[in-house]
Amino acid sequence: MSFKVTLLPGDGIGPEVLSCAVRVLERTAEKCGISISFREALIGGIAYDKTGTPLPQETIDRCKESDAVLLGAVGGKKWDSLPAAQRPEKGLLGIRSALELFANLRPAKIERALRADSPLRADIVEKGIDFVIVRELCGGLYYGERGRDGGDAFDTMAYSEAEVERVARVAFEIAKGRERKKLTSIDKANVLDCSRLWREVVARVAADYPEVEVSNMLVDNAAMQIVRDPSQFDVVLTENMFGDILSDEAAEITGSIGMLPSASLGAGRMGLYEPIHGSAPDIAGKGIANPLGTILSGALLLRHSLGCEEGAALIERAVSAVLESGLRTADLGGDATTVQMEEAVLAQL
Ligand code: IPM
Ligand code: MG
């Protein structure tokens, strides 16, 4: 089997961590007897510098022809004063919506070897942290009508039943396949109409999944519960903005935001994979970034877009083994370089 993967290195540490993931994917593909051809395209600040837009049409076309897309990171100080439409982040939002990737999966799982790195109390961590946030990615405040008028500004949140239903189905399917089969839908139904619609649709979809235990939680309470007792969560379903905020919180309690991968999926198999961390301009070019979030994103790519569960599990086991061996990058208080981390993963494979 042969697959096409588009690489979007982007800005900051993006290119450094992405090249590690590519070498890990190449080695894994070889072991699993599949072939992957990689092609790079531009996104973010570097795309703006070279073409005048953070998301050139050529990039969209190339992604659409691919089986999957692997992205590093976008953004940096250099582009911070650009108008919204030209900012690097606009490239990321644009590619998510151009490819209609409406379900963003962000696993928050603590590695056994990293338990001491969690900012949470040991007795809380002991109970385990293993949940996945399913964040709606193509709607809500991020894409609603917005504007400025003199001293006034506005952004709007809007959701249709269809938008809620398609992401809810993804979350229920995931919950159904997990051991605990628990789904917590997070909203602000005591204030927002969008959230009241959200609850209604989730309740309707839930009827098709009697094996899944469903509950609703208000987002402010959820923010508290994630640090109070994260072991209660299995699958978390929420809208775009709440998911953005809660997923950073969830990432942090697992020890390092540098560790976590994400997958953005649509109706088909094609998906976009990226680490949760940003472009970290302060350490870009120093060769000390943690490549594990991107390497693990490569594992998700194998699992969800290329149907290669064997390869995904190989990479995940290799990463756990490297962490058990004690090797750490600077974000985890160690002094291993990006490439040393990559080589250790390759050696485990
Ligand atoms: C994320 C990021 C993006 C988002 C930014 C860079 C636009 O924070 O992927 O979580 O808010 O979606
Ligand atoms: Mg974010």
Gap from CA of 325 to ligand 2 centroid (Å) = 30
Rounded CA-CA distance 327/120 in Å is 22
pLDDT value, residue 130: 96
User: What is the share, in percent, of the chain residues with pLDDT greater than 90?
Assistant: 95
Pocket lining: 89 vs ligand 1, CB cutoff 6 Å = yes
233-274 confidence digits (pLDDT tens) = 999 999 999 999 999 999 999 987 888 999 999 999 999 999
Q: What would the mean pLDDT of 129-141 be, rounded to a whole number?
A: 97
pLDDT value, residue 1: 87
273-325 confidence digits (pLDDT tens) = 999 989 999 999 999 999 999 999 999 999 999 999 999 999 999 999 999 99
Question: Of the given ranges (12-16, 20-24, 81-85, 235-239), which has the lowest mean pLDDT?
Answer: 81-85
Protein residue closest via CA to atom 11 of ligand 1 = 244
User: Can you say whether the dihedral through the CA atoms of 140, 170, 108, 30 is positive or negative?
Assistant: negative
pLDDT mean across residues, the chain: 96
Which residue out of 48, 90, 117, 142 is catalytically annotated? 142
Please say if 248 is a catalytic residue: yes
88-127 confidence digits (pLDDT tens) = 999 999 999 999 999 999 999 998 889 999 999 999 999 9
- pTM score: 0.95
33-53 confidence digits (pLDDT tens) = 999 999 999 999 999 999 999
Protein residue closest via CA to atom 6 of ligand 1 = 89
User: Can you say whether the dihedral through the CA atoms of 274, 215, 205, 94 is positive or negative?
Assistant: negative
Pocket lining: 92 vs ligand 1, CB cutoff 6 Å = yes
Protein residue closest via CA to atom 8 of ligand 1 = 244
Please say if 80 is a catalytic residue: no
Q: What would the mean pLDDT of 158-179 be, rounded to a whole number?
A: 98
pLDDT value, residue 257: 80
